[in-house]
Structure 1
Amino acid sequence: MSEFRTVRVVAGGPILVEGPVKIETPDGRVVESSRFMVAICACRRSKNYPLCDTSHRKARRSVERPK
């Protein structure tokens, strides 16, 4: 059996997966990344979905700012 890959869920952020990875989306699209660590979007706000583009940071900041 192969070694386990590390997957880390970041509170309020992405899911970090040790790469390289091949991601299959619900619509059948396949996204590949050869990076050593890949951030997968968990908030679905990314313009580069399923990969994270840090859109979760902008959304969180706008909610936290006092009016």
Structure 2
Amino acid sequence: MPNESEERTAPAPCRVTVTKEGPMLVEGPVEVVLDDGTTVRSDRFAVALCTCRRSRTYPWCDTSHRRRGRR
């Protein structure tokens, strides 16, 4: 007879997609712990996390990275 821990299944992994010049796409819902220790949460099915730190809604991407000129 299997014990209780053997009957549990592992949760499905969270999918994270790294884009070359844009945000990091994360399948939600997600909780993000910021560098000051605060936690923000999104219950959306997918979120875009800012990687350039230009977003006015950081840590969520607001497409501010698009305004950067290419060299």
TM-score, structure 2 length as denominator? 0.81
**Bigger Rg, structure 1 or 2:** 2
Give 1:29 shift.
1.6
Give aligned pairs, total.
Answer: 62
Moved runs in structure 1, 4+ residues, more than 4 A?
Answer: none
Q: Secondary structure at the match of 2:53?
A: coil
Please show how residues 15-30 of structure 1 align to structure 2 within 5 Å: 15-30=24-39
Q: Unaligned 5+ residue runs, structure 2?
A: 1-9
Matched, 1:58 2:67: yes
Deviations 1:14-67 (A, max 9, x none): 0000000010001112110000000000001001111101000111xxx238xx
Structural RMSD (CA): 1.2
Q: Unaligned 5+ residue runs, structure 1?
A: none
Report percent identity of matched pairs.
52
Matched to 1:35, the amino acid is R
TM-score, structure 1 length as denominator? 0.86
Matched to 1:22, the amino acid is E
